[in-house]
């Protein structure tokens, strides 16, 4: 396994540890009005993974839900659009299923990228011009960034008790 895939797997393990056992109230708690919930962060991580699978592989959303998850990469995180998924989908079962799906879709690309994928010129979700290799570097560490935010939320004195 290459270093990027190892890093990505490690960050996903840490993300799973940060969210293990959270209930619906905890997944949807917000530190303040307008802040993202843990469930939204998790969909955002899945959306970013699908973004790179879409641009570096041949993955295409096949239904409205998958298109909504893909939009979670940017909508309400990197732009002013509202969060693209219904609140009813922000539950432990649907979030876990989606993270598993995005993991399975991205794994073959990040584990064995082709030279063409690594060299492919792309636009990142934030709009800068990068290569596929740079995109894989970003997605490999992306879950770690949000894992830290989730732990900070969980340590907040007003975070709901299990």
Domains of the chain: 3-155 (1.20.120.450)
* Local confidence band at 47 (pLDDT 50, 70, 90 cut-offs): very high
* Local confidence band at 154 (pLDDT 50, 70, 90 cut-offs): very high
**Is the model's pLDDT at 73 over the cut of 90?**
yes
132 and 119 in contact (C-beta within 8 Å)? yes
**Which residues does 28 contact at the CB level (< 8 Å), separation at least 6?**
37, 38, 39, 87, 90
**Is the model's pLDDT at 25 over the cut of 80?**
yes
Q: Quick check: pTM over 0.85?
A: yes
CA distance 83 to 41: 11
**Is the model's pLDDT at 56 over the cut of 80?**
yes
Q: What is residue 136's predicted lDDT score, i.e. its pLDDT? A: 98
């Amino acid at each position: 396994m290459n270093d990027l895939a190892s890093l990505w797997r490690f960050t996903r393990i840490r993300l799973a540890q940060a969210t293990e056992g959270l209930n619906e109230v905890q997944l949807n708690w917000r530190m303040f009005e307008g802040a993202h919930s843990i469930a939204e962060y998790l969909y955002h991580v899945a959306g970013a993974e699908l973004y790179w699978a879409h641009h570096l592989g041949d993955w295409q959303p096949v239904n409205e839900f998958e298109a909504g998850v893909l939009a979670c990469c940017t909508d309400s995180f990197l732009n002013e659009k509202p969060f693209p998924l219904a609140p009813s989908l922000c539950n432990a079962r649907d979030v876990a299923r989606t993270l598993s799906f995005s993991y399975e879709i991205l794994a073959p690309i990040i584990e064995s990228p082709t030279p063409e994928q690594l060299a492919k010129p792309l636009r990142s979700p934030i709009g800068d011009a990068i290569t596929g290799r740079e995109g894989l570097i970003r997605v490999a560490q992306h879950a770690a960034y949000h894992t830290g935010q989730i732990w900070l939320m969980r340590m907040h004195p007003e975070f709901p008790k299990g």
